[in-house]
Amino acid sequence: MKEITDIIKAYQKATKDRKKTALATVVKVEGSSYRRPGARMLITEDGQLTGAISGGCLEGDALRKALSAIVQQENKLITYDTTDEDDAKFGVQLGCNGIVHILFEPIIEEDQLNPIAILTTLQAKREDAVLAILFNLNGKQQLGTSMLFKKDTILSKTPKEIEEDIINDAREVFANKTTTFKVYPYGDQEIDAFIELIHPPVSLIVAGAGNDAQPLAEMAYLLGWEVSIIDGRPTHATTQRFANATKIVVSKPDNVLSQVDIDEQTAFVLMTHNYNYDLELLKYLLNTNAPYIGTLGPKKKLIRMLEELHLATPENKTRIYGPIGLDIGAETAEEIAISILAEIKSVFTGASAIFLKEKKNPIHVYGLTNN
């Protein structure tokens, strides 16, 4: 989501400066690639790039293709084949070994359903959404970003003959929480569809405004997460100490939950270094559906807290991440922040958090199916 947010900001600036733009989106990958389907990059007519569609090996040529799309005012699908080891043009620098299909869409400001307008609507509210991007691997007609499906909203410029099928498939993606690819008959040809599930950014709620919470909050902000700081001390929970926090709440534990929202992308971290504050807040959190609760400190502290609350059930012991973080040998506040953020990321993506060199399957497989 951070990439989308950055792209929208860059587009708004480009529009203000009267610069024409195009959006490049990776819509399909065969084999290995640095970025996967859903990677996006905004290109302005003077060559400014926001986002990324590769590790840098494709961006130069992508700029030329984007300028062509802007001049001709039509969508273009470009295929980059990096499987040929003798081809020094693309991918060799990074050892890529795949075929990458990238859709270039010129942004027409007058079009109320242009790709950026759709992405802006997607970003406006914290909820899951599904995007349908239509392209043709074997033809010239590239329909592009054509539908936004949300729980109570559908924006569509999809051809009527396939719109109902796409809505049904988008509804299935929304329900199953799994991105997919589809192919639809369209006239005398076929249209490919990348139907992408997009989650809102992680909402990180940090209970504790001590010095060790500052690098955690700052690193989470750099990831594009929404950060809330909760503490009972008005001298610590301030905008001066947490300049990039979305929300700062000075509150006793019994009033915290009335001042924050919990959804499927919410992570709570208890690090107040105040045992009684953490204890009371944990009591309330265990009655919520918060998908991630982590506690700083040793395991015996967590067990003691659960026992005092008479909630030391196997389910609660499994549910709470304590001690919080991955085992990376962290010592400093900054290193501990990395450990915590990595664990939260792995929980929300369903990743194993093992060494990548030990992974048997492709690296990028989370939330993606091919059928």
Model pLDDT for residues 104-115, shown as the tens digit of each residue: 999 999 999 999
Domains of the chain, by residue range, sit at 1-198, 203-349
The dihedral over CA atoms of 123, 129, 132, 133, expressed in degrees to the nearest 10, equals: 30
For the record, the structure tokens of 256 come out as 């915290």
φ, ψ for residue 9, nearest 5 deg: -65, -40
Number of neighbours of residue 318 by Cβ within 10 angstroms: 8
Predicted confidence at residue 80, as pLDDT, reads: 85
Dist. CA 367–CA 31, nearest whole Å? 17
Q: Is pLDDT of 23 > 70?
A: yes
- What integer pLDDT is reported at residue 187 of this predicted model? 83
Structure confidence at residue 366 (pLDDT): 46
Q: Which residue has the tokens 């242009």?
A: 114
CATH code for the domain defined by 203-349: 3.40.50.720
Residue 371's pLDDT band, with cuts at 50, 70 and 90, is: very low
State the pairing for strand pair 226-231/247-250.
Answer: parallel
- What is the average pLDDT across 313-317? 94
Does 307 or 1 have the greater pLDDT score? 307
Please determine, for residue 297, whether its predicted confidence score (pLDDT) is greater than 70: yes
Judge contact between 123 and 130, C-beta under 8 A.
Answer: no
CA 63 to CA 22: how far, in whole Å? Answer: 9
From the number of C-beta atoms within 10 Å of its C-beta (0-12, 13-18, 19+), residue 86 rates as exposed
94: confidence class by pLDDT, cuts 50, 70, 90: very low
The predicted-structure confidence for 33-74, as pLDDT tens digits, reads as follows: 778 899 999 999 999 999 988 876 777 888 899 999 999 999
> Which residue do the tokens 């194993």 mark?
352
pLDDT computed for residue 86 by the predictor: 54
